[in-house]
């Protein structure tokens, strides 16, 4: 015998989806604000951790709520950041390259955070 579909579950899921989507602009603004104060020549460990935490949160939840590419690219930025964080000394050039990728991500997400393709990706048919 089939289990009846729990309409309340789907209603709650829609509410969570809507809540996540409504919060995307604030999340992007938060990322942009932290990024704006980031000095590649003398990174503040608190800003590094804050950027890491925001990206980790987006990477872990975006796909669940229909923002697959946004989450995937947040994960890539997070992983690249973890590599940088693993070193005691990080060249400003390395942070600048990472920040340029973050800037690209923020610009893309500001246009359409739910888009399936990201700059440089081949659109899948």
Q: What is the pTM of this model?
A: 0.86
Is the CB of residue 77 less than 8 Å from the CB of residue 97? no
CA pseudo-torsion sign 79, 21, 66, 2: positive
**Residue 52 covered by a domain:** yes
Instruction: Output the CA–CA distances (angstroms, integers) from residue 50 to 55, 67, 72, 81, 107, in the order listed.
Output: 9, 21, 19, 12, 19
**Residue 1 covered by a domain:** no
What is the rounded radius of gyration, in angstroms, for the C-alpha atoms of the chain?
Answer: 17
**Residue 77 covered by a domain:** yes
pLDDT at 124: 45
Instruction: Output the CA–CA distances (angstroms, integers) from residue 54 to 77, 89, 122, in the order listed.
Output: 11, 23, 27
**Residue 119 covered by a domain:** no
Listed in sequence order, the residues at least 6 apart from 27 whose beta carbon sits closer than 8 Å to its beta carbon are: 54, 57, 58
**Residue 7 covered by a domain:** no
Host domain of residue 70 = 24-111
Residue pLDDT, tens place only, 51-97:
999 999 999 999 889 899 999 999 999 999 999 999 989 999 999 99
**Residue 4 covered by a domain:** no
Give the chain's domain count: 1
Averaged pLDDT, 13-34: 94
């Amino acid at each position: 015998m089939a289990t009846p579909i729990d309409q309340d579950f789907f209603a709650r899921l829609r509410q969570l989806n809507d809540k996540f989507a409504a919060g995307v602009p604030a999340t992007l603004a938060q990322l942009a604000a932290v990024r704006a104060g980031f000095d590649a020549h003398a990174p503040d460990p608190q800003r590094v951790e804050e950027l890491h935490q925001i990206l980790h949160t987006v990477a872990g939840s975006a796909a669940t709520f229909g923002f697959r590419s946004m989450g995937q690219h947040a994960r890539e930025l997070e992983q690249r950041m973890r590599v940088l964080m693993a070193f005691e000394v990080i060249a400003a050039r390395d942070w600048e390259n990472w920040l340029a990728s973050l800037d690209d991500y923020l610009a893309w997400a500001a246009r359409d955070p739910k888009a399936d393709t990201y700059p440089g990706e081949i659109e899948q048919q």
